[in-house]
Chains A and B, each alone.
Chain A
Amino acid sequence: MEIFYSLLPELIRIVIAAICGAVIVFGNALVMGYAERKLAGHIMFRPGPMEVGPHGIYQLVIDGLKLMGKQLVIPKNADTPLFMLAPLIAFAPVFVPLLVIPFSDKIQGFDLDVGLLLILAFASINVLAILIGGWSSNNKYSLFGAIRSVAQNDAYEIPMLISLLAIIFMTNTFSLKEIAAAQSPVWFVVIQPLAFLIYIVAMVAETNRAPFDLPEAESELTAGFHTEYSGMSFSLFVLGEYANMFIVCSVATVFFLGGDSGIPLPYFEYTGIIWFLLKVYLLMFFLIWIRWTYPRTRFDQLMNFCWKYLIPFSLVNLLITVVMVKLL
């Protein structure tokens, strides 16, 4: 019983953090879904959603309701258990990385010593979900999407990790809070601009966003891995995608943009979250912006770019960082 009482604060903390995580996942999906459609619209000289509510702000709510109301069609000869499992695998793991992200000095689920590793480990479960979803759909287009996704994510995880590793060498810690705190005078984007650029490119590829949206390349593969998904199982994939975008952008903010640092506000240990979210959503805006600008790359070119440019550059960057850290 005493053990229970000693663990109780931690348990309460977990519950609160999980609830906050859910709020972030769904709130982020609403904001991003709306922002994406609005921005896409205005980039194309059209207003975007306008009908539901003033300037269509309830559009996503209505869409969510519609998706919930839709029938879940399971294709004939599909591997039913895996087919149903895949969206859950895509969606469930996104809560864990949210626990360790330091939104501000005091707003953080847990400050783990291995925060970065936890994030990377759980973020890559998404690949498994896409693979299972594509495989179990009994659709050749889905299978293509799944295969592409696995190859792409595996390849792009390498430059992503190496570019982050340069920061790890500088700060000597995996704890996100300490990394964010280490940038108090100068953000790492100034010291490590190359690593930042590599991370941004790898981030786009990791989240399967255009111009690297090969797993769902709709003009080639109809809808890629989620061709056969409908209703809520489809929307779980979308929720997972947006949550993953949020996570990778948060990591970029922590590693390169100084986390919650900014112009001090009252109660900064809490209000730092404003700066943090501002930076995250600026990065997300960038993701949307490039999505509606570029055509899609071809698969072999995508891989070539990774192996010929990103990985060598990130390795050179890491080497220089190591030498500099040793010398200084």
Chain B
Amino acid sequence: MAMDVEILEDPKHHRYVLNMGPQHPSTHGVLRVLLELEGEYAMELLPVLGYGHRCHEKIAEHKPVKSFMPNTARMDYLGALIYNHGYAQLLERAAGIEVPERVEYIRVITSELNRIQSHLLWYGAYLLDLGAFTPIMYAFDDREHILDILEDVTGSRLTYCYFRVGGVSKDIDDKFVTSTRAFVKRLRSRFPMYEDLVNGNVILQNRLNDVGELTPHTCARYGITGPLLRGTGVAYDMRRAEPYSIYSQFDFEIPTGTKGDCMASFMVRFHELEQSLRIIEQALDGLPEGPIMTPKVPKKLKIPAGDYNSSVEAPRGELSYYLVSDGSDVPYRLKVRTPSYSNLSVVPEMCQGMLLSDVVSAMGALDLVIPEIDR
């Protein structure tokens, strides 16, 4: 309650407080934002967190490292495989496990499918925030194909636990390859439709242009990564900046914007769909044969004492795992740096003096996943 006191109704300035969330249609989860309004202009904002906190980091300190894998998927339910990827990579680095090449290819393909799925959901949900009801259904139509493809190989539809330390749990087959290729073709053919219906729409352009402008400097101060940072013109992508897995072998571009407003990050995300498709195509072409699991992974994985780091590019920005080990099979401390948390922290500065409608479009552009913030 202490936080509520900070923003109080001030009759002298004709300001009043609007409580947006935790059950507001456009906060997408249990985020609560206190807005101090003057007319319809938001003068002060205060995000209130903690409604969905599940102590994932603390749980990690209490069980064997391998058992934490399903938890990673629950932190960001939209980028579950990418979270799996980061964690598997962390343990492999820590324990010095080499991963077979086929596994790396499978991980890249499924991760990129996961990224497309996440972007498609954001695309639809963001337009829902902006008042367009139809695009979300079109985006879900495409997204269902990815879920079907991934369900066939991982066994689940959303919170995957597919990657293992040193491999993946199930091999991909010809059916996966053909259906993924069919999906790549399908999504490409749908892009013109999205362009016509949404991206070129004058109402959308007016809603997003010059709203929520960020500069590279602001991003650096708040630790903002991902499409928001790339929207300001900084081509920073973990897949290029610190190439992990086999991303250095693929030919893809990092889309950037110039103005750093909502439209810039919107278009960055939209173009990332195409880049992910390119990566998938190249990975499918070069898919080698081989085992899907390193044989030498011990049942009880002991991490040598020391600290380890692993960073991957999640759909919303840079995801880092930082593990401190005391030599046992239970981590001494596991810190997860989730992109949404840093991205959210800019809201009070970014949205100051905005119309209420613009606050909704600016917060939607952050692509917040609340369980990732309150992990």
Contacts and interface: CB of A to CB of B under 8 A. Distances in A.
Contact of A220 (B16, B127, B141, B360): B360
A293 interface: yes
B201 A294 contact: yes
A110 interface: no
Given A213-B131, A220-B26, A296-B203, A140 B16 contact: yes
Nearest to A43: B134
B203 A219 contact: no
A32 interface: no
Given A45-B141, A295-B204, A220 B18 contact: no
Interface string A179-211: 000000000000000000000000000000011
B131 A295 contact: yes
Given A144-B40, A220-B360, A294-B201, A210 B131 contact: yes
Contacts of A307: none
Interface string B120-154: 00000001111111100110010000000000000
B134 A44 contact: yes
Contacts of A291: 133
B138 A219 contact: no
Interface stretch (A16-24, A228-236, A298-306): A298-306
B197 interface: yes
A40 to B, nearest CB: 7
B203 A220 contact: no
Contact of A294 (B203, B355, B360): B203
Given A144-B356, A217-B131, A45 B137 contact: yes
B189 interface: no
Contact of A292 (B18, B134, B204, B357): B134
Contacts of A140: 16, 18
Q: Which of B133, B207, B360 neighbours the largest number of chain A CB atoms within 10 Å of its CB?
A: B133
B274 to A, nearest CB: 22
B23 to A, nearest CB: 9
Contacts of B26: 219-220
Interface in A135-157: 140-141, 144
A293 B134 contact: yes
A121 to B, nearest CB: 29
A219 B132 CA distance: 10
B313 interface: no
Nearest to A44: B137
Given A297-B207, A301-B206, A219 B18 contact: no
A144 B206 CA distance: 21
Nearest to B25: A219
Contact of B132 (A220, A295, A298): A295
Interface residues of A, number: 28
A45 B16 CA distance: 43
A219 B131 CA distance: 7
Nearest to B37: A140
B203 A295 contact: yes
Given A144-B40, A211-B203, A301-B206, A296 B355 contact: no
B134 A298 contact: no
Contacts of B18: 140-141
Contacts of A211: 131, 203
Contacts of A111: none
Given A44-B138, A211-B203, A298 B358 contact: yes
A172 interface: no
A222 B25 CA distance: 6
B129 A297 contact: no
A44 B197 CA distance: 13
A296 B137 contact: no
Nearest to B129: A219
B240 interface: no
B192 to A, nearest CB: 16
Interface string B13-28: 0001010000011100
A294 B200 CA distance: 11
A293 B198 CA distance: 9
A40 B131 CA distance: 14
Interface string A33-65: 000000010011110000000000000000000
Contacts of B207: 295-298, 301
Nearest to B198: A295
Nearest to A298: B357
Interface in B239-293: none
A218 B128 CA distance: 9
Interface string B23-59: 0111000000000000010000000000000000000
Contact of A299 (B24, B40, B130, B132): B40
A69 to B, nearest CB: 25
Given A211-B203, A298-B206, A40 B133 contact: yes
A297 B356 contact: no
23 contacts: A44-B134, A44-B137, A44-B138, A45-B138, A144-B40, A211-B131, A213-B131, A217-B357, A219-B360, A222-B24, A222-B25, A294-B132, A295-B131, A295-B198, A295-B201, A296-B130, A296-B131, A296-B203, A296-B357, A297-B206, A298-B355, A299-B40, A299-B357
Given A44-B137, A295-B201, A297-B203, 6 more contacts: A141-B18, A217-B357, A219-B129, A222-B25, A295-B131, A295-B207
Interface of B: 16, 18, 24-26, 40, 127-134, 137-138, 141, 197-198, 201, 203-204, 206-207, 355-358, 360
